[in-house]
Amino acid sequence: MIFGYARVSFSDQNLDRQLKELEAFGCDKIYSEKQSGKDFSRPVYREMRTKMRFGDVLVVHDLSRFGRNKQEIRNEWKSMIDEDIDIVVMNMPILDTRKYKELEGVGQLVSDLVLTLLSWMVDEERNRIKTAQREGIQIAKEKGVYTGKKKKYHAGAKGKDKIIYDQVIQLLAAGESVKQTAEKTELSRNTVYRIKKEIEQLNFESNDS
């Protein structure tokens, strides 16, 4: 079976181009998700891997869709080759392990050389983006225009955010733990901790005044 895998990192990014190209390639089953490529612990990717068997083929548009960490890419690639699962990177024809079936050792050599180069490039690009983001934030701070990420779930929130905030308040007031509250509201523990700390601070200021 030919599996197609499409990925973008953020929810506002579009998967259409990748999906169309995978369909045109002739993939029997296409999996897609909007998750960071920093490692391979992505829910849709892991589900797909459990379905893959000896003789199957994985197709991705480019190496960065496969992953964005040099060592993680190499480890996952080797794992699939060891399971006799072929890999095709559409925008890099040399990375098509099906071509080297009759050339013992050549496929591995080509994969090692190209993966070393490309995975390094992917890793460097990821680091470059992070560096640019940090520098941009620092410049904005120096200019006094950086406000940070807009905070959700607070006393002055509107609509759904306010409903969830009120629910957190009620659960904590009822004696629920941070973990239980996070699970019931589907928020991160850090967010619940932040709300809890804000409430405690407000209560302290109120009692102190």
More confident residue, 35 or 109: 35
Q: Coil, strand or helix: which one is 207?
A: helix
More confident residue, 203 or 87: 87
Give residue 60's pLDDT band: very low, low, confident or very high (50, 70, 90).
Answer: very high
pLDDT in tens, 64-116: 788 777 778 878 888 888 898 999 999 888 788 888 766 665 556 666 666 66
- pLDDT at res. 153: 81
Nearest 5°: the CA angle 99, 101, 104 is 115
Q: For tokens 């620092």, what's the residue?
A: 138
pLDDT in tens, 120-150: 666 666 677 677 777 776 776 666 655 566 6
Q: What angle do the packed helices 178-185 and 159-173 form, to 10 degrees?
A: 150
User: Quick one: tokens of 58?
Assistant: 């994985």
Ordered domains of the chain (ranges, CATH): 2-125 (3.40.50.1390), 159-208 (1.10.10.60)
Q: Does the pLDDT at position 201 exceed 80?
A: no
Give residue 197's identity as a one-letter amino acid code.
Answer: K
Active-site residue 9, yes or no? yes
Indicate if the alpha-carbon torsion angle 151, 157, 159, 164 is positive or negative. positive
Average pLDDT score over residue span 38-67: 91
Q: What is the pTM of this model?
A: 0.55
- pLDDT at res. 18: 93
Name the residue among 18, 105, 24, 130 with its Cα closest to residue 63: 18
- pLDDT at res. 31: 97
Q: Where are the beta strands (DSSP E) in the chain?
A: 2-8, 29-34, 57-60, 86-89
Q: Does the pLDDT at position 23 exceed 90?
A: yes
- In 4-105, which residue ranges form alpha helices assigned H by DSSP? 16-25, 43-51, 63-66, 70-82
Of 9, 32, 64, 188, the active-site residue reads 9
pLDDT in tens, 150-199: 678 888 888 888 888 889 888 988 888 988 988 888 888 888 888 888 88
Please state, in angstroms and as integers, the Cα–Cα distance from residue 196 to each residue in 154, 163, 168, 177, following that order: 11, 16, 8, 10
